[in-house]
Structure 1
């Protein structure tokens, strides 16, 4: 599932459609007044990398988080869920022998999982992945935030929600996991009920057990992934003996812009680490000019490590 947001024009269209035509001039005036409060946006930059080049970084981030390839753990957990669903179906069809067999299969799979992974509490069974890639600039985002602030102050909650709805740029990963530590116990109780002939109670318990699947949500800001990608390419470039100083500075400007973009969207809740990351980029810029060697002080390596930790913490 991929959702593409089309920036200021699309977002403002929601507001325009919700207002009467005779109030349009008032709205424009309100926007201008609010912009004075917001202040000037960071200057726009010339972007070196395009959307297609960043997509590789997005795909790698998704794979790193879900680890779908050759994940036997996920398949075993899914087998437990499927066995539980089959047992419910068999009970509904009065196929009680098959229901008992399916429950026993689920118990065996679940116990094997816990035996092989004693520290495991949640076993993933499925993922839902989406991307919201906001196409806008920092100035546009600030304008929309200003409008939303004014709208909320006027008590126009629904209008505020519509304005803010598109202000996100992130990969969304929902992980559906089996509470594997408690699952075998529930299945054994259902098996006892089935063997005693209380199939209705067994079915109710199995359904309740399926409803214990836990949903974990992770939101990874795209601007931070782009920042990591830019810094990685910069790191590779400066290893060359005669690298392009002008391009190096452009990449640093791009990294600064992406950090500011993430901060403007509210990722990190005005976290103090944003300032530290910005300061680190400025320091790297000085070192490049002075010595043409950021490896000597490990500044770029340290920045990339700090950025990765920051991204993981706020996701």
Structure 2
């Protein structure tokens, strides 16, 4: 079968490798139809692995596929079922896993596509307990955005920031995969959305997507706009994933008691924080990493109801590196999908 494997820094190749054996006990075999690209794919492509891994490694962290075979002891699944696999190899036994907080697992053995072989291959065997059912009305391309993109937004906005209908939210990097989803999700529940982006073109796209206001952060002070739009009160929630470049302004944009939720640091991992402002204004900062499996299911329910991801580009496997280059250089609005 064909597999897209990383052989070294920025060295991606389509290899012919043996197909997997029949699924073992507790496993299902998947035919992968589509994968969605994320910044973690770019990090891996650059050689930025945070743990030891052996090369070559099959890439692809977020995917959708169908079950083609079932191993012994697996119940509740059938050949032909559509699924979105959870990419973190959790233990399934610790207190976090057994209470439905999968992303807080105490003994994760790796992330597929980053530490161990991922989903950019025609077939793979995965533990059945890591499957989330995909309604068959959802396309493969949209379903591929469930396991990381939609679930990350669900976890950030609802588990952490506790976003409420009618609140005002500042969404950074409106052209990113999670930024576009956050705009759609927030607008669908009646929130006022202020979006930021690095170009006038992306600001126009954010407005077309449903944002009430859009700020080109390369030419305007977004915190000033946020305070003006809210009558100097400040926003209820900041959806942060840019990092150092926007951190200070994000805190300045918040109202008294406002909530900032962050899941990324693409512009740098260190930023100064005004501690006096933090405690005097009683701000809340939430770190958010990954998502629980139930967040994937919640995102898929929204897709089934018509709230779909924004797809920038759909490319075949042999153009995977083009997609990574577009993502790395930020020439993207929405998600890049690779069909297998």
Pairwise same-fold verdict (TM > 0.5)? no
Determine which structure has the larger helix proportion and give its number: 1
Determine which structure has the larger strand proportion and give its number: 2
Between Structure 1 and Structure 2, whose CA radius of gyration is higher? 1
TM range (shorter): under 0.3
Higher relative contact order (CA 8 A, sep 6+): 1
